[in-house]
């Protein structure tokens, strides 16, 4: 009997596939750091039972229509806005994601980005590399304190809660806004639920951890940045499209807010001439929120477990639809 075939859209360590070698035939795109061309993906999806993809792969109606026997799309991410969930369900294709396993690592990165931005670490490192450090001065590269300041978390999911736990170690006052109030988190984390306007106006740091939806599209726009303190630091580790980047650029350039730390962008990868890269008060990272060896390995393993359970006609571990 022919084994089911799985196509993997990025090159991953083959040792992770070994536990499933008796169950499945694997086909894999040959490059880790380059996306599979659309025409290759369309050709491969015609003949596979499972697809292990990443966030930049568009699994839309057009692609799904190319499939003949596809049963599962395992997305190596928490978010799934790259997949037409409703159409997949209509076609009987299960979609899964990788929650939980990346929450702590992403929270680490979010907090590190907040600290690097507030304390101007990129600028300071470049200052030395440029040979500019000649003398000590009282306010040389002086940044912003983090301890005992107010942190506003927009989106109190698993990652938001993990960030709140870290904030308490710095003696921070934690505010949050979420679609649904989470009273258990308020007790556990000593976090205060507030409306969005109050969060923006009261927070010294605002961090976005919301999923991308119609409601959160351009959530951080001109009006939102106008409500923030001039001393505020904005951090985005959620999705690039929740921010109006033109409005953010203006807010940073004009001094409407102090600084920004960004791990995600509207269009990824961003080009080297992106306006935000011109600004010294911005720290930009290439979408590395969950990028630790341990976490990325666990994400792949969870994708493979989901594929195995679905193709064995069992319930998936982390279904989206």
Q: How far is CA 50 from CA 53, 63, 98, 186, in A?
A: 10, 13, 16, 40
Q: Whole-number mean pLDDT of the chain?
A: 97
Residue tagged 């003398």 (tokens): 135
CA–CA distance, 18 with 166 (Å, rounded to integer): 37
The band of 77, judged by pLDDT with boundaries at 50, 70 and 90, is: very high
Residue 302 has pLDDT above 90, yes or no: yes
In this prediction, residue 116 carries a pLDDT of 98
Token output for 217: 């599209």
Please check whether residue 280 is in contact with residue 260, taking contact to mean a CB–CB distance below 8 angstroms. no
Residues that are catalytic? 239, 268, 287
Token output for 247: 């409005």
Q: What is the mean pLDDT of residues 111-140?
A: 97
CA–CA distance, 316 with 220 (Å, rounded to integer): 35
In this prediction, residue 32 carries a pLDDT of 86
Is the CATH code 3.40.50.720 the one for domain 5-99+293-311? yes
Asked if the domains 5-99+293-311 and 103-284 are classified in one and the same CATH topology, the answer is yes
Q: Taking the domains of the chain in order of start, what are their residue ranges?
A: 5-99+293-311, 103-284
The band of 1, judged by pLDDT with boundaries at 50, 70 and 90, is: confident
Those residues with Cβ within 8 angstroms of residue 277's Cβ, 6 or more apart along the chain or in another chain: 270, 284
Residue 33 has pLDDT above 90, yes or no: no
Residue tagged 């001065």 (tokens): 137
Please check whether residue 191 is in contact with residue 185, taking contact to mean a CB–CB distance below 8 angstroms. yes
Q: What pLDDT, in 10s, does the model give residues 242-255?
A: 999 999 999 999 99
Q: What pLDDT, in 10s, does the model give residues 152-189?
A: 999 999 999 999 999 999 999 999 999 999 999 999 99
Residue tagged 């792969």 (tokens): 57
Entry pTM: 0.93
CA–CA distance, 176 with 243 (Å, rounded to integer): 18
CA 99 to chain centre: 11
7-78-290 Cα angle (round to 5): 90
Q: What is the mean pLDDT of residues 262-278?
A: 96
Is the CATH code 3.20.10.10 the one for domain 103-284? no
In this prediction, residue 195 carries a pLDDT of 98
The band of 135, judged by pLDDT with boundaries at 50, 70 and 90, is: very high
């Amino acid at each position: 009997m022919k084994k089911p075939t799985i196509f993997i859209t990025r090159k991953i360590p083959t040792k992770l596939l070994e536990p499933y070698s008796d169950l499945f035939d694997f086909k894999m795109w040959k490059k880790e750091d380059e996306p599979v061309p659309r025409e290759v993906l369309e050709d491969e999806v015609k003949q596979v039972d499972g697809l292990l993809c990443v966030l930049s792969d568009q699994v839309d109606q057009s692609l799904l229509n190319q499939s003949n026997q596809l049963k599962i799309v395992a997305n190596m991410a928490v978010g799934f806005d790259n997949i037409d969930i409703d159409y997949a369900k209509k076609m009987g294709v299960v979609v899964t994601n990788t929650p939980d396993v990346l929450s702590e690592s992403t929270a680490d990165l979010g907090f590190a980005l907040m600290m690097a931005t507030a304390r101007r670490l990129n600028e300071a490192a470049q200052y030395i590399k440029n040979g500019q450090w000649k003398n000590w001065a009282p306010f040389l590269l002086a940044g912003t304190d983090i301890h005992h300041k107010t942190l506003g978390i927009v989106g109190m999911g698993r990652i938001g809660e993990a960030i709140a736990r870290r904030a308490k170690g710095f003696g921070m006052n934690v505010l949050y806004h979420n679609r649904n109030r989470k009273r258990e988190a308020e007790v556990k984390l000593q976090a205060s639920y507030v409306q969005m306007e109050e969060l923006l106006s009261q927070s010294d740091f605002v961090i976005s951890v919301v999923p991308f939806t119609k409601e959160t599209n351009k959530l951080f726009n001109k009006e939102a940045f106008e409500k923030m303190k001039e001393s505020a630091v904005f951090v985005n580790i959620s999705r690039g499209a929740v921010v109006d980047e033109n409005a953010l650029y203006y807010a940073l350039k004009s001094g409407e807010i102090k600084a920004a730390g960004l791990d995600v962008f509207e269009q990824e990868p961003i080009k080297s001439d992106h306006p935000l890269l011109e600004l010294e008060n911005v720290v930009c990272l290439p979408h590395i929120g969950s990028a630790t060896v341990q976490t990325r390995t666990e994400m792949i393993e969870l994708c493979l477990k989901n594929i195995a359970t679905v193709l064995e006609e069992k319930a998936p571990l982390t279904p989206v639809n």
